[in-house]
Structure 1
């Protein structure tokens, strides 16, 4: 289970972050803190995988807190979410290893893309070794990690596609459209449309399961022979 820590001194902004996270994945465990001191206590108490960090806090500078987080070796990814757009701040945050940098105000789509990147990396780091192509996906440094220009079917959206793809990557065994829809809190009809799109582009393969009693049903899984990865959509 993924636990996210929101470090933000503005209650309204905290609420927006929580709402966005719940919209993306209702299964996330969310902790909140308005001060650096409280954040450190939470980091010492819970196993935090992701931190959403503001630069300007009531009792500390967010970058100073980030330095402490790195020095103490807390194994959490950090997304900086701030109104600060100074080049020096951006450069320093990059040196401190932030996963992403969002400038307020930001769109839900931009926020969701950042969370999708976190989920992608989390999935990759479950293995003990990575091939070059997988490493390229982490660092986004070569053409292999560039998104493919696949035209979406009319009525489909890129943001919903990314959310569904992220959830598909979490599946440990073949799944049905209904089970995926329930996990995402989306309608079965909507999820079936995106699954059909992914199957059309050879990202998913399907198999019909026949029962002694009742109607047959389809199960899906990632296609190991796909010409590109699900992250490239």
Structure 2
């Protein structure tokens, strides 16, 4: 059965910025826009309407700006938490002053992304949220300290895997999908480049990045003349 996508409430008073977030979300599988609110009042009305209708919040994730025309975003978050909202909250803001960051941590902000940022950073933070949420889905118990540590480690790992300059998240996903579709088959940089329509040098940079974060294994391909060609086989998770 296909999992229900995460419903996202966008709280952002700048219309063009809000529209950009909506466009970004449309590109990300597993997320859908529940509502867009340009003020604290509008955000509170969205939450209240859902609670009044069926006793549930009509969103699972909040993308939250801090400086809104009628107050501070963290005031809305404090009210949400007090009302029993346990979903993810991603702060997307230009605010970097420590008192705001401390309050954000205290109120359970899941990710904190400082403006300006691009689609790849946006997608990475949403991906970190989704990965952590998947590990916490369902009931039952985690199997000891190792699995508990894994839950708290997942978002840090994604930050450690940040792409080197010049690489993009979209092309990386194409490389991952190509190798992950057939983990038993090893491909060279030239073969990856040919299949994805990128140069051999560019393909090698992505493959070396994946090797560095232990998603692929590299080995020498023998049998031809001259130096052995390097080939890469999928070893990680897609």
Relative to the length of structure 1, the TM-score reads 0.63
Which residue does 2:97 correspond to in 1?
Answer: 86
User: Does structure 1 retain, via aligned residues, the 8 Å contact 2:132–2:154?
Assistant: no
1:67 aligns with 2:74: no
After TM superposition, list the pairs within 5 Å mapping 1:12-161 onto structure 2: 12-25=16-29, 28-44=32-48, 45=50, 46-128=57-139, 129-131=141-143, 132-140=145-153, 146=157, 159-160=169-170
Higher relative contact order (CA 8 A, sep 6+): 1
Distance change >3 Å, CA 160–CA 58, structure 1 → 2: same
Write the distance in 1 (CA, Å) between the matches of 2:104 and 2:122: 18
What is the CA–CA distance in structure 2 between the aligned matches of 1:32 and 1:115, rounded to whole Å?
17
Taking only aligned residues, the RMSD between alpha carbons, in angstroms, comes to 3.4
Unaligned runs of 5+ in 1: 165-185, 202-227
Q: Bigger radius of gyration, 1 or 2?
A: 2
Unaligned runs of at least 5 residues, structure 2: 51-56, 187-234
Q: 3-state DSSP class of the match of 2:71?
A: coil
Q: 1:133 to 1:9 in 2, by over 3 A?
A: same
CA distance in structure 2 between the partners assigned to 1:13 and 1:140 by the alignment: 31
**CA separation of 1:91/1:195 partners in 2, compared to 1, >3 Å: closer, same or farther?**
same
Q: Does 1:193 align with 2:197?
A: no
The alpha-carbon distance between structure 1 residues 229 and 127, as it changes in their structure 2 partners (threshold 3 A), is farther
Q: Which runs of 4+ in 1 moved over 4 A?
A: 147-150, 196-201
**How many residues are aligned here?**
174
Please tell me whether the aligned partners of residues 12 and 68 of structure 2 are also in contact (alpha carbons under 8 angstroms). yes
